[in-house]
Amino acid sequence: MGTSHARAYQRMADHFEIVGLVSRGTSRQTLYAEFGGRYAEFSDFADALAQTRPEAVCISTYAETHAGYALAAFEAGAHVFLEKPVADNLADCERVIATARRLKRALVVGYILNVHPSWQKFTAIARTLGTPLVMRMNLNQQSSGDTWATHKQLLRTTSPIVDCGVHYVDVMCRMTGSRPVSVNGIGARLADDIAPGQINYGHLQVMFADGSVGWYEAGWGPMMSETAFFVKDVIGPKGSVSIVAQRATRSGRSANIDSHTSTEALRVHHAALDADGAFARADEIIAVDDEPDHDELCRREQLMFLQAIRGEIDLTAHWQSAIDSLRIVLAADQSFREGRTITL
């Protein structure tokens, strides 16, 4: 993600100037293979803040460092683009957002689906289907090699339904516009080379005050199936809308990051029946003309960041959604570990 965002800043050179790169470990090699020698390089975030004195900071690290880095950046006077989730716990998430509000700094969280035209359309159509909604979503990843190594690193502090789930739960909250009231979660440890207590598969169920329900499933690892790894489907009293991503599902590459946002088309089904009891309208297939790749989506996220810095957009709902979606996925993790329904 850091590499993709750095590319975005380069493409937006009229608005952003990169003054430094901070990385360590294997990601440092990847980042500097593309950008090395052009910018000041650091292995310590505090040193980078002190020496470059940036007006804006992009944080694309593991979740356990998000809050500390973001708070330090705010106190140094910078605006922050922060990859999701805001933090690995709710208290730190709320602290980060409260600090951005207090210091009047822009904070944009990397909910990449919010800038995707097809997902915007998907959400808008779902809102026309009546109440309650039934929302079914998953993103399983069959990973190996370097990708499985990255997943295992993430599993040290974050389960799949937390790391990936915030995206899709955020979408559910936007579709319903209703308050989440309870969460159930289940999970499983499917690998011997992860630590005891870590789970690399999870499934959550969330209920909303308006009667809407949603489920989300996520699993990482070499054992995961490529069958039905990408389900994005919403049902309401008036019909349903689904993302059709045949190329992504046929590719057999569920861990490929470009497949995670692929849409291709939307299928809209109308529930109305005619006098004979047959469907009154045929299903609609809405072609997707604007299908940005991953790097282009990152550029659009940075455009949103630029607008936020300039004060052109109100971030109030964005921040509340970041809190709500994290609250739900953390509750799902708690539900699994404690074996009970969590009331929100």
pLDDT digits (tens, 9 = 90+) for 192-251: 999 999 999 999 999 999 999 999 999 999 999 998 888 999 999 999 999 997 655 555
Q: Is this structure's pTM higher than 0.75?
A: yes
Q: Average of pLDDT values for 66-71?
A: 98
Mean of the per-residue pLDDT values of the chain: 92
Percent of the chain with pLDDT over 70: 95
With beta carbons less than 8 A apart as the criterion, state whether 181 and 330 touch: no
Question: What's the confidence (pLDDT) of residue 36?
Answer: 78
Percent of the chain with pLDDT over 90: 79
Question: What's the confidence (pLDDT) of residue 264?
Answer: 78
The letter for the amino acid at 153 is Q
What confidence tier does 28 reach under pLDDT thresholds 50, 70, 90?
Answer: confident
Classified as helix, coil or strand, 287 is strand
**Could you tell me the sign of the dihedral formed by the alpha carbons of 11, 15, 18, 22, in that order?**
negative
Fold for 113-291+314-343, please state it: Dihydrodipicolinate Reductase; domain 2 (3.30.360)
Question: What's the confidence (pLDDT) of residue 260?
Answer: 45
What confidence tier does 144 reach under pLDDT thresholds 50, 70, 90?
Answer: very high
Whether the per-residue pLDDT at 90 is higher than 70: the answer is: yes
Question: What's the confidence (pLDDT) of residue 290?
Answer: 80
Question: What's the confidence (pLDDT) of residue 246?
Answer: 63
Question: What's the confidence (pLDDT) of residue 92?
Answer: 98
With beta carbons less than 8 A apart as the criterion, state whether 285 and 269 touch: no
The residues pairing with 184 across neighbouring beta strands, listed in sequence order, are 205
Cis, bond preceding 132 (omega within 30 deg of 0): yes
What is the rounded distance in angstroms from the CA atom of residue 126 to the CA atom of residue 167? 16
- Sorted by where each begins, the domain ranges of the chain are 2-110, 113-291+314-343
Question: What's the confidence (pLDDT) of residue 253?
Answer: 61
Whether the per-residue pLDDT at 33 is higher than 90: the answer is: no
With beta carbons less than 8 A apart as the criterion, state whether 201 and 223 touch: no
Q: Per CATH, is 2-110 categorized as 3.40.50.720?
A: yes
Question: What's the confidence (pLDDT) of residue 75?
Answer: 97
* Digit-coded pLDDT (tens) for 313-323: 999 999 998 99
For the ranges 2-6, 264-268, 287-291, 303-307, the lowest mean pLDDT is seen at: 287-291
Q: Average of pLDDT values for 130-152?
A: 95
Residues near 33 by beta carbon (within 8 Å), at least 6 away in sequence: none
Whether the per-residue pLDDT at 291 is higher than 50: the answer is: yes
Question: What's the confidence (pLDDT) of residue 164?
Answer: 84
Q: How many CB atoms lie within 10 A of CB 278?
A: 7
2-110 and 113-291+314-343: same fold? no
